[in-house]
């Protein structure tokens, strides 16, 4: 049997009784949805100050899946894995603790910490002394040390049940979904937009995904997969939408009519206009972007101010003060970095000397040259889909890039991992030619390879190679498959 006790976020605990009750109920429901996908017989109990999860399974794979699921539910700061014991005497608690912690404290310094609720004829200190003394005497090499011990044995007592903590796990924190209003995140598929979306989900906001397509079908496939991954990992308890807007006509109009130095800011203002129109149609009050102050020319304080003035819709920038490396680190932590690295950059317009201090009057003057019927048309034709349908669609798309585990004799494997990955773990295949072309150079270098051969793209997890194969197919290279050993 596996039992976990989910601790409430401290910010939930300090709220009024009615708000706390609502937040805790939402958390309980979300835990039920995720846990019952793993074990349909799992028991979830709302204990007011915590939520308990109990599975009668003995399968360690189920245990690992339950832990993984709880780690990805917004609103859970930490949860403890416990063995529950009914007791009558302190010795009952000690015997259970000895059995579970014998190997843990053997040959180490340790202390015992106890938290207690209910009426008992002993104190928490009594438990700590009794259990600690017993372990000290009966476990070889174990020695009590109250300050900075190597191990801490934790016990929680509530009425006539003792909970001996075997492990503490940490979750993603934040608030349960959907304790905040819905938002729409502008997704490009890169590091920033993915992490910004995650941060809003973590804060309890049901997050929809809006994609401005500048790069054709291949770009859309990648962004859909990234959006679906974030939703499935962190917010699959609630339905959300994926909205795709074909922005190429807007970019073409900007390139033809707007002064070069003003193009970047005008493009962002067009995106905010379009996003605001979509948000109003969906009844959503805020847009989310991955912009970080000073990261690129359009993200100076002056330019952001000019961009914001184009709409009354609230624009949230959860990464505004983050450094790029901090954003990349979070992306690695949540599992989106490989997809972000593989995502081709489609900036739409590139100014030779982009303005970093846009003037609103000048921007308005340039926008007067723009045909706004084009913007209205692309928003009207926006495709809105249930994000759950992406998985079905993705399976159909994947068929375009065949995956193989056995290579033919004349195969050429293209290792598209980054140089650092390739250096750390070189791919060596006996009797098979392997060439190394990093994914970020594949678009320009693949055409230099002899085109009378079949090529098999390789990366660590297959995500990047699948996406790059689809992009190469889009560019007319039909001699590309994916190698998945």
Omega of the bond leading into 273 within 30 degrees of 0 (cis): no
DSSP assignment of 34-65: HHHHH-TT-EEEE-SSEEEEEE----HHHHHH
Domain at 10, CATH number: 3.30.2130.30
95 shares its domain with 27: yes
In angstroms, the CA 35 to CA 144 distance is: 38
> Could you tell me if 356 and 470 lie in one domain?
no
Q: How far apart are CA 250 and CA 93, in angstroms?
A: 70
How deeply is 31 buried, as exposed, middle or buried, from its count of CB atoms within 10 A (0-12, 13-18, 19+)? buried
How far, in Å, CA of 357 to CA of 298, rounded?
A: 9
Looking at 328, 360, 386, which one is the last position of a domain? 386
Give residue 398's pLDDT.
Answer: 46
> What residue numbers bound the domain in which 343 lies?
182-386
Residues 352 and 188: their CA atoms lie apart, in Å, by: 22
Residue 177 lies in a domain: no
Question: Would residue 96 count as lying in a domain?
Answer: yes
Which class for 282: exposed (0-12), middle (13-18), buried (19 or more C-beta within 10 A)? middle
Last residue of a domain, one of 338, 359, 386: 386
Q: Residue 344's pLDDT is what?
A: 60
Residue 343's H or E segment, with its range, is none
Beta partners for 80?
A: 5, 168
Q: Please tell me whether residues 338 and 410 are part of one structural domain.
A: no
Residue 62 and residue 165 share a domain: yes
* Residue 320 Cα distances to 175, 198, 362, angstroms: 21, 14, 25
pLDDT, position 431: 84
Q: Looking at the domain assignment, is residue 391 inside a domain?
A: no
Active site residues per annotation: 459
> Pick from 11, 16, 79: which is nearest to 44 by CA?
79
Residue 420: predicted pLDDT: 62
Q: 120 and 48: one domain?
A: yes
**Distance separating alpha carbons of residues 141 and 456, to the nearest angstrom:** 56
369 shares a domain with 278 = yes
Annotated binding site: 186-187, 268, 290, 299
* C-alpha–C-alpha distance, residues 125 and 112, integer Å: 9
Residue 350 is predicted with a pLDDT of: 57
Sheet holding 50-55, edge to edge: 43-46, 50-55, 2-8, 76-86, 161-173, 151-158, 109-117, 143-144
Check which CATH number belongs to the domain holding 443 and give it.
Answer: 3.40.250.10
Same domain, 365 and 406: no
Question: So what's the pLDDT on residue 229?
Answer: 92
The answer as to whether 395 is a domain residue is no
CA distances from 282 to 111, 272, 310 (A): 55, 15, 19
pLDDT at 137: 93
Same domain, 239 and 338: yes
Asked if residue 252 is part of any domain, the answer here is yes
The structure tokens listed for 286 are 């805020």
In a domain, 396, yes or no: no
Same domain, 240 and 381: yes
Do residue 6 and residue 151 come from a single domain?
yes
Looking at the fold, whether 146 and 258 belong to one and the same domain comes out as no
d(CA 468, CA 23): 42
Q: Rounded to an integer, what distance in angstroms lies between the CA atom of residue 43 and that of residue 193?
A: 36
Total residues belonging to the chain: 485
Q: What does the block give as tokens for 454?
A: 């079949």
DSSP letters spanning 269-290: HHHHHHHHHHHHHHT--EEE--
Pick out the residues of the known binding site for ATP: 186-187, 268, 290, 299
Return the pLDDT at 215.
67
Number of domains in the chain: 3
What pLDDT does 176 receive?
95
Q: Is residue 308 one of the residues assigned to a domain?
A: yes
Statement to judge: residues 344 and 407 lie in one domain = no
Crossing angle for the helix pair 389-398 and 216-234, to the nearest 10 degrees:
130
pLDDT of residue 351: 62
The parts of the chain modelled with pLDDT lower than 70 are: 215-216, 344-352, 394-400, 420, 440, 461, 463
Q: Which of 386, 420, 437 is the last residue of a domain?
A: 386
């Amino acid at each position: 049997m596996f039992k976990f006790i989910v601790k409430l976020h401290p910010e939930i605990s300090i709220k009024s009784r009615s708000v706390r009750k609502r937040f805790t109920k939402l958390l309980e429901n979300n835990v039920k949805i995720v846990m019952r996908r793993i074990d349909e017989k799992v028991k979830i109990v709302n204990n007011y100050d915590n939520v308990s999860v109990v599975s009668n399974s003995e399968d360690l794979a189920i245990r690992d899946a339950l832990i993984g699921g709880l780690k990805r539910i917004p609103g859970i700061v930490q949860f403890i894995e416990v063995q529950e014991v009914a007791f009558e005497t302190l010795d009952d608690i000690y015997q259970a603790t000895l059995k579970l912690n014998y190997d843990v404290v053997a040959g180490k310094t340790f202390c015992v910490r106890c938290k207690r609720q209910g009426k008992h004829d002993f104190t928490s200190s009594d438990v700590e002394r009794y259990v600690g003394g017993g372990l000290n005497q009966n476990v070889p090499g174990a020695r009590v040390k109250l300050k900075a011990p190597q191990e801490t044995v934790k016990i929680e007592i509530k009425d006539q049940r003792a909970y001996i903590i075997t492990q503490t796990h940490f979750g993603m924190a934040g608030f349960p979904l959907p304790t905040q209003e819905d938002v729409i995140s502008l997704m490009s598929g890169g590091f920033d937009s993915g992490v910004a979306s995650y941060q809003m989900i973590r804060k309890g906001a049901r997050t929809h995904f809006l994609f401005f397509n500048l790069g054709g079908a291949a770009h859309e496939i990648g962004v859909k997969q990234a959006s679906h991954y974030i939703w499935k990992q962190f917010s699959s308890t609630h339905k959300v939408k994926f909205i795709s807007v074909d922005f190429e006509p807007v970019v073409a109009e900007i390139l033809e009519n707007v002064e070069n130095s003003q193009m970047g800011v005008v493009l962002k203002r067009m995106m905010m206009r379009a996003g605001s129109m979509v948000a109003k149609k969906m009844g959503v009050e805020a847009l989310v972007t991955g912009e970080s102050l000073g990261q690129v020319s359009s993200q100076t304080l002056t330019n952001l101010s000019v961009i914001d003035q184009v709409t009354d819709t609230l624009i949230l920038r959860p990464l505004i003060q983050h450094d790029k490396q901090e954003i990349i680190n979070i992306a690695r932590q949540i599992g989106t970095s490989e997809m972000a690295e593989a995502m081709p950059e489609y900036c739409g317009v590139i100014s030779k000397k982009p303005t970093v201090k846009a003037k609103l009057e000048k921007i308005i003057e340039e926008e007067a040259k723009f045909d706004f019927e084009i913007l209205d048309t692309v928003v009207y034709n926006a495709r809105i889909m249930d994000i759950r349908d992406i998985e079905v669609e993705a399976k159909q798309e994947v068929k375009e890039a065949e995956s193989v585990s056995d290579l033919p004799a004349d195969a050429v494997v293209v290792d598209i991992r980054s140089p650092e990955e390739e250096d750390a773990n070189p791919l060596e295949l006996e009797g098979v030619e392997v060439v190394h072309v990093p994914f970020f150079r594949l678009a320009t270098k693949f055409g230099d390879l002899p085109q009378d051969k079949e090529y098999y793209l390789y990366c660590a997890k297959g995500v990047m190679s699948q996406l790059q194969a689809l992009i190469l197919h889009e560019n007319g290279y039909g001699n590309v498959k994916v190698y998945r050993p």
